[in-house]
Amino acid sequence: MVLELDHLSKRYGGTEALRDLTLHVPAGSVYGLLGPNGSGKTTTLGIALGVLNPSGGTVRWFGQALSAGSKRRVGALLETPNFYPYLSARQNLQVAAEVKRADARRIDEVLETVGLLGRQHDAFQSFSLGMKQRLALASTLLGQPEVLVLDEPTNGLDPQGIAEVRTLVQRLAAEGKTIILASHLLDEIEKVCTHVAVLQRGQLRAAGPVRDILTSADRVVLRPGPATTPAALTQALARLPWVSDVQAEADGCLSAVLTSEQHPAALNEALFSQGIILAGLELRHRSLETQFLALTS
């Protein structure tokens, strides 16, 4: 495991920002932290990286307690790009390189990667939000970290910038880096992550490989044949213990969830043996969005 968070909690006065959060990030994963604004994503990462003090719980990086050494193996962008406004992009990265003890010769390379080499001598305060965000990404890459922690990395970027960040994340993941990505944008998580944890009001709602979280929520949509009434179909489904959550859909269709061992073909067979003939049977992959809304509603 790259990062192990165990039983983290955080209180701000009377507010409980984080409640008994346990999360393990495997090496090589692209781990998405998903949740609405204020759900505790930044608090979780702030505690993981030592800028916030937990009210309870433990943090371990690479199997050890958080230290300067472990932090230098991690590149982190938390919430906002944090730089000196009066310094240029290059000067800011020079400061960051000193702090990270990174090779200053990497500065050109990372500026090139995020497309800011041409603006390197301009003051940070003259940058647009998107450029600031890209400079922050450049800074995280300076020390050639094994792990990247990116909190809302596409904040303020235009569609092209978002696509570029996505490509960058995918490229870094392909290089074997572990990436922890916090976002409230489902699309972003769904497109790049291998794992996801869903947070709501400081509590973990679900965590695991994206595939598991999504397939557990796949639904089959059943269209009854002309000789079958929806009521008869509902009754037949009720007799099958591995079918749950039967819901009416548009056009007289029904949808239901199967346990993970069962396939649509088995459902078709079981219904046919009860004299029910279907006009259509379709497996509908649930989007992360629907799953997310289901988890957090």
Partner 1 sequence: MLFRAELRKLLPYRTVWILLVLYAVLLAGFVGMSGGAVINGKPMGSSLYAFPGVWSRLAYVASYFNLLLGILLIILITDEFQFRTFRQQVLDGLSRAELIQGKLGIAAGLAVYATLVVLGIGLFFGLTRGPEAAPGAVTAELGAVALYAVQALGYLSLAALLAFALRKSGLAILAFMLYGWVAEPLVRSQVPDSLDRFFPGKLLSALTPTPGQELLDTVTGPSGALLPTQALPVALAYVAFFWLLSYLLLRRDL
Nearer to partner 1, 73 or 191 (CB): 73
Q: Which range of residues in 76-84, 113-121, 153-161, 202-210 is near partner 1 by CB under 8 A?
A: 76-84
| Strands 254-258 and 278-284, sheet pairing | unpaired
User: Measured between alpha carbons, how far is 197 from 98 in angstroms, rounded to an integer?
Assistant: 34
Binding of partner 1 by 53 (CB under 8 A): yes
Binding of partner 1 by 71 (CB under 8 A): yes
Q: What is the CA radius of gyration of the chain?
A: 24
Considering only 25, 52, 157, 217, the residue that binds partner 1 (CB under 8 A) is 52
Q: Which range of residues in 64-72, 113-121, 260-268, 272-280 is near partner 1 by CB under 8 A?
A: 64-72
Name the residue type at position 47.
Answer: I
Binding of partner 1 by 49 (CB under 8 A): yes
Strand-pair partners of 198: 34, 206
Name the residue type at position 191.
Answer: K
Binding of partner 1 by 72 (CB under 8 A): yes
Query: Tokens representing 105?
Result: 């010769």
* Non-local CB neighbours of 48 within 8 Å, separated by 6+ positions: 3, 5, 59, 61, 66, 149
Nearer to partner 1, 100 or 134 (CB): 100
CB-based burial, 26-39: b 16+ in 10 Å, e otherwise:
eeebbbbbbbeeeb
Binding of partner 1 by 238 (CB under 8 A): no
Considering only 80, 144, 170, 216, the residue that binds partner 1 (CB under 8 A) is 80
Torsion angle, alpha carbons of 25, 26, 30, 34, to 10: -30
Considering only 63, 85, 225, 252, the residue that binds partner 1 (CB under 8 A) is 85
Considering only 58, 63, 95, 280, the residue that binds partner 1 (CB under 8 A) is 95
Nearer to partner 1, 88 or 228 (CB): 88
Cα 114 off chain centre by: 22
Nearer to partner 1, 42 or 113 (CB): 42
Interhelix angle for 129-141 vs 89-100, to 10°? Answer: 30
Binding of partner 1 by 174 (CB under 8 A): no
Q: What are the residues binding partner 1 (CB under 8 A)?
A: 46, 49-53, 68, 71-72, 76, 78, 80, 82-87, 91, 94-96, 98-101, 139, 143
